[in-house]
Structure 1
Amino acid sequence: MFMGEHQHSIDPKGRLFIPARFREGLGNRFVLTKGLDGCLFAYPLPEWEALEQKLKSLPFTRGDARAFVRFFFSGAVECEADKQGRILIPLNLREYARLEKEAVIIGVSSRVEIWAKDQWEHYKGQAASSYEEIAEKIVDLNLGI
């Protein structure tokens, strides 16, 4: 399980240090792709394969399903950390997530998310203001929170 928040710089070559605890959970090779809300998602290969199977089951006759699957898979790349614990984030993914110099890496249960620092601060500020309201809505899902 991934949890926590870490801030790191992106070097001029587009490399980002991934914290050791996250690297251990992601494994030697993992998948990085376009996420939701303007961030990147990183999945361990077994988690990615399970997600891939679920997405394959979406009806290809639905335009919204096709669009999502195209977008999600077209941005996916397999990554491997170097000896210093850095990954190279391809330019198209850096542009998508607006990653320039400062990044925030967060653990979100079964995946890791990579955010541009300013985007994360903005998102976190908005989410914090509605945290209790969201909790009230999801209590109906019987999550035991």
Structure 2
Amino acid sequence: MGIMFRGVNPINLDGKGRLAIPARYRESISDHCDGRMVATIDTESKCLLLYPQPEWDEIQAKIEALPSFNPAARRIQRLLIGHATDLDMDAAGRLLMPAPLREYAGLDKKIVLLGQGRKFEIWSEELWNMTRDEYLQDVEAGMTIPEDMQTLSL
């Protein structure tokens, strides 16, 4: 089954740009991938994607297999693989986020670590709150729910 992340986790980046992984995830990350993670940009939103190394390796293989002569595929390869950065969780459970990635996502002090199953998203707290509120307004306004989800009983 592998690893599973869920939940919204408000976190503060320290002065060096490090984020402390919440304690409840640390052991499973250590056991699963020895603390080795990969961060890259999300091409759809101004946030970062954070994967355990084994999950990223699978995704990178799929991205590399896309036809490089296709301009859209080439763009995805350049953005996702080009920004992919290896991160090692230290003994205190922290990851040092590189400046280019922090700048892309507008990460300052207050951030949100959002569990998304096999990965995390990392958002600036302000941008996440705005985005979440937009999503909720879309639902209230009667946004169409994908057909696959209409059969789910939540």
Q: Give me the TM-score of the superposition, normalised by structure 1.
A: 0.89
Deviation at 1:92, TM superposition (A): 0.2
What is the count of residue pairs matched by the alignment?
143
Deviation at 1:142, TM superposition (A): 6.3
1:6 aligns with 2:6: no
Query: Which residue of structure 1 aligns with residue 52 of structure 2?
Result: 44
Q: Structure 2 residue aligned with 1:57, among 58, 65, 88?
A: 65
The one-character-per-residue Cα deviations of 1:37-67 (angstroms, maximum 9, x if unpaired) are 1111011122111111211221111111101
The one-character-per-residue Cα deviations of 1:6-40 (angstroms, maximum 9, x if unpaired) are 11111111111111233344431011111231111
Q: Structure 1 residue aligned with 2:18, among 7, 11, 15?
A: 15
Quick one: which amino acid aligns to residue 130 of structure 1?
D
Farther-moved stretch of structure 1 (25-34 vs 119-128) = 25-34
Deviation at 1:88, TM superposition (A): 0.5
Q: Give me the TM-score of the superposition, normalised by structure 2.
A: 0.85
Q: CA RMSD in A?
A: 1.7
> Where in structure 1 do 4 or more consecutive aligned residues deviate above 6 Å?
none
* Unaligned ranges ≥5, structure 2: none
% identity of equivalent residues? 35
The one-character-per-residue Cα deviations of 1:99-125 (angstroms, maximum 9, x if unpaired) are 011000010111111100101001100
Q: Structure 2 residue aligned with 1:80, among 79, 88, 108?
A: 88
* Unaligned ranges ≥5, structure 1: none
Cα separation, 2, equivalents of 1:13 and 1:142: 41
Query: Which residue of structure 2 aligns with residue 32 of structure 1?
Result: 39
8 Å CA contact 1:2–1:107 kept in 2: the answer is: yes
